Structure 1
Amino acid sequence: MKFTNLTIAILSVMGVTASPGASALELYVDNETKQLYAEPGPNRTKLGDFERVDDKASLKVGKSSDRQIAAGKAPEQNGQELKEDMESTKVAAVDNDRQVDTRAGIHTPRTVHKPESKWYDRINLRGYSQLRYNHTFEGDRVGGANTPELRSVMDSSVRNNQNFSFRRVRLVIYGDISDYLYFYIQPDFATSVRNQSGGEDNLHFAQLRDAYADIYLTKDHEYRFRVGQSKVPFGWENLQSSQNRLALDRADALNSAVPSERDLGVFAYYTPTHVQELWKDMSKKGLKTSGDYGILGVGVYNGQSLNKAEKNNDMTFVAHSTYPFDLGFMSDSLSGQVLEVGADAMIGKFKPTFGSFTAFDESIKISGDTIRDNSGANKSFTEERVAVHAILFPQPFGFQAEWNWGNAGALNVDTATIEKTSLSGGYVQAMYKIDDFYGTWIPYAKWQTYRGMWKTNSNMPRMAVDEIEVGVEWQVMKALELVVNYSHMNRTNMNNSAFGQASGDVVRAQLQWNYY
């Protein structure tokens, strides 16, 4: 015989109950009279151990059975009223975690109070790794007396005798400590360090990339301060994660403003709620946004670039703006198509690292000279830039373009001085998104050019870059991506102290696996 909460209600009426928190109540039934007892006796069979349940369903059952219990009989179990009572009891059990007495087959509802979550319960991990293969198959491969080796400041594995390499190995630790505080820490385990003795680079050192906190001023997260080491909001592609970027490397022209994209500082961002939602929806569609750096952002930072100590008392100022427009306002056929446009500006002082250099052209005769500015002192140089960007997200056709102009110091090899000079450059990129064909495919083509300084190299040398890149990204699944491309490069070799020009053709492939 199976018993339910009806049994407990019967006991309540009989005055045989267990108080909350008391031990379980034993229940016995007389084999002849079928009367219930709370203690053993002759001709009595034990039914099981029971606990009291104070819920509406049990009370209702008790009331519907009062007359039958007063008559000394067990309630009828085939009546319509009893059926309704049982259904009520069943609903109560569904709404609560259930405690089961396996000896009697009785399910008793019980509310379980879960402990309050701690801040460390909200810490999350994610990241990605990128394995590259580079092959220079034509052009300037071997540096010589008058032929510098083809090198790229954006990818140190573009060089002689290079095959596989780790481009990035990132692990991100992040989480919302509260509704008003978010933290983010990202190290990279694929950093190379130049051997001071002049030998080959040492590989796979850990380096801090990001370590910041977002302090929200409002619960809807429209206004926030970002403090610590983070990306400097100058340029659109600079802000886009390498995990999401289509081309293998960022364009030199914009990245030269903030090499490695990051610095120590304080930034303020404003992102209205409807723009937050639009960017989230675009990410869910697999469109590669630059992340939420506000439609407006301003900040101050050291200005000496990533993981470099400050060298002057001046800070660099930056202002950022961008806005995504849903083109549906122009035509219903364009609904869902998003065009994002914006402009940025920065101004600050940078103190270069001074050293010596050797020219390929032996007639210059300045080997070993110390590079100084025109006044003869090792001092900081003012850098001023403005930039614009426009991005049409691929649905399926997409377009992306950025350009910047400015003034900064740069090495004049002929006079062995660092002089103030102009800079300009940018890129144009076209892409096409193909979904649901053994994954997602995005073929693309990118052209870039730049004339200006590269400030993190010794003596702040001037560089010239012209490059054409075509490739395709295959998103095999969410966790796995493959990019294959071909590039024709014409670049200044910034790794050689004479800064000679080299050109060549490079085929590259990159396998990226993501972990969430």
Structure 2
Amino acid sequence: MRIGWFVTCMLAMTLSLQAQEKQEEKWYERLSLGGYMQVRYNGLFETNPDLYCEQCDENWGSEGGGLSFRRIRFKIKGQITPHIFVYFQPDFAKSVGEEHFVGRVKDAYVDVGVDEASEFRFRIGQSKVPYGYENMQSSSHRIPLDRDDAMNSGMKDERDLGVFFYWATQKQRRLWKQLRKAGLSGGDFGMFAFGFYNGQTANHYDENKEFHLVTRFTFPITIGNQVIEPGIQAYTGKYVVTEHGSTIEVNPDGYVDQRVGASFVLYPQPFGIQAEYNIGKGPEYDVATQSIAVKPLQGGYITCSYYIHKWGQDFYPFVRYQYYDGGKKHELDARSYAVHDTEVGVEWHPFKHFELVTEYTFSDRRFEDDVNPFNHQKGSLMRIQAQVKF
């Protein structure tokens, strides 16, 4: 009897362990695959082919033409343990010299949660720098085709290699998750952020052994069925200008690169407002001395949109005005800019996973460097983008 009882217990324990092994999820089973692709045409009703925006879209203007891929991205992500979240995203629509559709790393980072709820977490690797609300939002969620010049000029590609600390309460993280599911927001970057990064933008090595420092604070507030999110942010460091003409002398130790900005978001339920403004100083080409100097900068934008659900489809008509006066440190000779742009358009979701954006741009841009020191262009054009998102 005792032997039979012992054998029965052993069999039961073995079956129980086997069941646990079968139920235990492997780390790779916690990964998910997603992405999006954007196809554009920028030349409809174009009035001035000499008007372009290098940072916005390399296929806008006389150097472009025809249909083009703006982004081809695939992402692999997952919470592989209670404390570890991984994220990897390449882009296959980049150009390097004369080579087009070259694959490059956009994001490659790990989130290390200090607690199991990850209210406190560290993000290590190449990721978005927590500066500017629009900079941090995915391009698959943004309504206008491009990010604004004023905030984005401080963070080309929005990313860099660094270490960032994020903190947010569970309540606020749940709110961001709800906004993300509703398609109104693209990420959770904490209520408070602080970190350091190389400062030469994504996929570039550090040039002066001095980190940039950045911090941000935001506080989303629910008022009835509306959500508003005010925020402030700032960064400081020294930027080494690497894109310059042979006749331009540059400081190898870098130029002071500092900004402070404010953000305000009213999520479109149905009326939406998104506005940001920043001031600071940084490297900028000076026409008078034909050199690069540290000069003041300022600028911002405001976007107004309205959500319409009709005939089983979603529509987001919008208008945006943007202004920027300052340098773009990552462009040739830290190119000097004065920008006044107005965009009017609509984003249409006829089917699930598919979006179509049409916008008309009225642009007034002065952009000068040592090759083209007197360059003021005005014009307008219609731009169209089709996006599939999965």
TM-score under structure 1 normalisation? 0.70
Q: Residues 367-419 of structure 1, C-alpha deviation per residue, up to 9 Å, x if partnerless?
A: xx62125xxx5431011110001011111111110000001121112212211
Of the three residues 246, 255, 259, the one matched with 1:385 is: 259
Name 1:177's counterpart in structure 2: 80
- 2:390 is aligned with 1:501: no
Aligned to 1:258: 155
Residue aligning to 1:221: 118
Change (3 A) 1:507 1:216: same
Q: SS where residue 481 of structure 1 aligns?
A: strand
Matched, 1:405 2:301: no
* Residue 394 in structure 1 maps to residue 291 in structure 2: no
Residue 217 of structure 2 corresponds to 321
Structure 2 residue runs without a partner (length 5+): 1-6, 13-18
Structure 1 residue 257: Cα displacement: 0.7
2:96 maps to 1:193? yes
How far apart in 2 are the matches of 1:186 and 1:427? 28
Q: CA deviation at 1:113?
A: 6.7
TM norm structure 2: 0.91
Output aligned runs, 1:364-379, within 5 Å: 370-373=247-250, 377-379=251-253
Distance 1:180 1:113, change over 3 A: closer
Q: 1:342 corresponds to which residue?
A: 231
- 2-structure distance, mates of 1:323, 1:311: 35
Give per-residue Cα distances to partners, 1:466-503, cap 9 Å, x unaligned.
11001101112331111111001122457993152212
Amino acid of the structure 1 residue aligned with 2:209: N
Bigger relative contact order (CA 8 A; separation at least 6) = 2
Decide whether the 8 Å contact of 1:354 with 1:378 is kept in 2.
no
Q: Which residue of 1 aligns with 2:56?
A: 154
Are the counterparts in 2 of residues 210 and 230 from structure 1 also a CA contact under 8 Å? yes
Measured after TM superposition, the shift of residue 138 of structure 1 is 4.2
Question: Structure 1: how far apart are the matches of 2:73 and 2:273?
Answer: 28
Matches for 1:39-78 after TM superposition, within 5 Å: none
Matched letter for residue 235 of structure 1: G
SS at match of 1:139: coil
SS in 2 for 1:207: strand
Q: Secondary structure at the match of 2:355?
A: strand
**1: distance between equivalents of 2:170 and 2:298?**
35
Match of 1:282 among 164, 168, 179: 179
CA displacement 1:258-283 (0-9 Å, x = unmatched): 11100000000001000011111222
Give 2:16's aligned residue.
Answer: none
Question: Which runs of structure 1 show a deviation greater than 4 angstroms over 4 or more consecutive aligned residues?
Answer: 493-496
Cross-structure match for 2:128 = 231
1:37-91 CA deviation, whole Å, 9 max, x = no partner?
xxxxxxxxxxxxxxxxx9xxxxxxxxxxxxxxxxxxxxxxxxxxxxxxxxxxxxx
Q: Secondary structure at the match of 1:459?
A: helix
* Equivalences for residues 298-313 of structure 1 within 5 A: 298-313=194-209
Taking a change above 3 Å as real, the CA distance of residues 149 and 204 of structure 1, as seen in their structure-2 partners, is same
Equivalent residues in 2 for 1:28-107, closer than 5 Å: none
Kept in 2, the 8 Å contact 1:149–1:493? The answer is no
Q: Distance in 1 between matches of 2:180 and 2:265?
A: 15
**Corresponding pairs, count:** 376
CA–CA distance in structure 2, aligned partners of residues 494 and 343 of structure 1: 30
SS of aligned partner of 2:139: coil
CA–CA distance in 1 between the matches of 2:45 and 2:166?
46
* Cα distance between partner residues in 1 of 2:259 and 2:71: 29
Q: 2:32 matched to which residue of 1?
A: 124
Distance 2:252 2:203 in 1: 21
Separation in 2, partners of 1:492, 1:265 = 33
User: 1:447 aligns to what?
Assistant: 321
CA distance in 2, matches of 1:440, 1:248: 17
Aligned-pair identity (%): 38
C-alpha deviations, 1:75-110, integer Å up to 9, x for none?
A: xxxxxxxxxxxxxxxxxxxxxxxxxxxxxxxxxxxx
Please say which of residues 267-276 and 436-445 is displaced more in the overlay. 436-445
Partner of 2:48: 140
User: Higher strand fraction: Structure 1 or Structure 2?
Assistant: 2
Q: In structure 2, how many angstroms separate the alpha carbons of the residues matched to 1:453 and 1:351? A: 14
User: Which secondary structure does the structure 1 equivalent of 2:22 belong to?
Assistant: coil
Distance across 2 between alignment mates of 1:225 and 1:253: 28
String of CA shifts for 1:342-375, please: whole Å, max 9, x gaps.
Answer: 100100000002532xxxxxxxxxxxx62125xx
* One-letter amino acid of the structure 1 residue matched with residue 42 of structure 2: N
1:46 alignment counterpart: none
State how far apart, in whole Å, the 2-side matches of 1:193 and 1:154 are.
16
Q: Find the counterpart in structure 2 of residue 512 from structure 1.
A: 387
Q: Work out whether residues 424 and 452 of structure 1, in 8 Å CA contact, stay in contact via their aligned partners in 2.
A: yes
